[in-house]
């Protein structure tokens, strides 16, 4: 499973009288692309030169270096050696801890853009002085960054095979673990059992926590589980699942293995255990 640097400290403002130090600048454009300069995240005492930078948030400090998220509007003048890279395509181009920070920057800026006005009374929101929040000056409603919890689970049979499915969201034939969003009032384990039953019609038990991953597409928290098949035949929820089946290590369809997603980590872990 991927691991990330433990030196990052989330902050919304630097301590008073902090010395001026260079920071890393995660510039995100209107298409959620990240700016690279000469193939790297820009570093400096201020954002890269441009007339179209707008919203700016301090994300925190990484081993003493301030980490900034900046929205680059359509009027931004690209510096020399500039390259805008989609967040998915950025994986592998920069170190994994930086890729995680890029995802954090994308989510914070999207939240700021989508919560400019109070959802209760319509007044213009203002930044909270000490929390990662926007607050209404009139009714005092606070808006925090949106995070949507979702479970992702690899179901295994006693014969060593795993359930893999081709989801309708994939344009080409590509299989992965089942996944779904958590309902209000539902535990994570209840969500695992419900989603498996809804999507493929089988019963599971022995639901075990595997790990979690922030997933900035656009603002999910993926919580991974392993589960054991109990009973039932595969009956697919056709609007969600195109194809599903039980597969062993020697007859795998196209699947993620390791890589950037917890789906790949689940499958990689299973392959190591059964091989």
What global pTM score does this model have? 0.92
**Fold (CATH) for 8-114:** Nucleoside Triphosphate Pyrophosphohydrolase (3.90.79)
DSSP single-letter state for residue 45: S
Which pLDDT belongs to residue 52?
63
For tokens 């931004």, name the residue: 76
Residue range 93-146, pLDDT digits in tens = 999 999 999 999 999 999 999 999 999 999 999 999 999 999 999 999 999 999
- Identical topology for domains 8-114 and 148-274: yes
pLDDT(1) > 80: no
CB 206 within 8 A of CB 227: yes
CB 186 within 8 A of CB 193: no
Check whether the bond before 218 is cis (ω within 30° of 0): yes
pLDDT confidence of 229, banded at 50, 70, 90?
very high
pLDDT(252) > 80: yes
CB 176 within 8 A of CB 164: yes
| 246: nearest Cα among 163, 160, 158 | 163
Q: How far is CA 116 from CA 102, 136, 255, in A?
A: 22, 10, 40
Specify the CATH class of 148-274 in words. alpha beta
pLDDT(5) > 60: no
pLDDT(3) > 60: no
Task: Name the token pair of 45.
Answer: 């005492």
Residue ranges per domain, the chain?
A: 8-114, 148-274
Q: What is the Cα–Cα distance from 242 to 233, expressed in whole angstroms?
A: 16
Task: Of 66-80, 102-116, 160-174, 208-222, give the lowest mean pLDDT range.
Answer: 66-80
Which pLDDT belongs to residue 79?
82
Which pLDDT belongs to residue 119?
96
Residue range 26-73, pLDDT digits in tens = 999 988 999 999 999 999 998 886 666 678 999 999 989 999 999 987
């Amino acid at each position: 499973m991927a691991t990330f640097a433990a030196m990052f400290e989330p902050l919304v403002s630097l301590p008073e009288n902090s010395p001026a130090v260079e920071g890393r600048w995660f510039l995100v454009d209107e298409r959620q692309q990240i700016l690279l300069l000469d193939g790297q995240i820009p570093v400096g005492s201020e954002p890269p030169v441009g007339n179209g930078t707008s919203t700016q948030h301090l994300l925190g400090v990484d081993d003493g270096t301030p980490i900034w998220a900046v929205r680059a509007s359509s009027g931004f003048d690209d510096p020399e050696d500039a390259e805008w890279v989609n967040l998915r395509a950025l994986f592998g181009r920069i170190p994994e801890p930086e890729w995680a920070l890029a995802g954090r920057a994308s989510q914070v800026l999207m939240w700021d853009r989508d919560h400019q006005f109070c959802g209760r009374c319509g007044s213009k929101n203002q930044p909270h002085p000490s929390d990662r929040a926007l607050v209404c000056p009139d009714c005092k409603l606070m808006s925090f960054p949106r995070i949507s919890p979702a479970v992702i689970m690899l179901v295994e049979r006693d014969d060593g095979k795993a359930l893999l499915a081709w989801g309708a969201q994939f344009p080409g034939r590509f299989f992965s673990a089942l996944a779904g969003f958590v309902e209000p009032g539902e535990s994570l384990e209840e969500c695992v059992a419900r989603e498996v039953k809804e999507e493929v019609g089988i019963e599971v038990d022995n639901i075990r926590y595997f790990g979690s991953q922030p997933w900035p597409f656009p603002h999910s928290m993926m919580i991974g589980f392993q589960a054991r098949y109990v009973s039932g035949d595969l009956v697919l929820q056709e609007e969600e699942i195109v194809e599903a089946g039980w597969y062993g290590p020697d007859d795998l369809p196209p699947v993620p293995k390791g890589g950037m997603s917890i789906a790949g980590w689940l499958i990689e872990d299973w392959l190591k255990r059964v091989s």
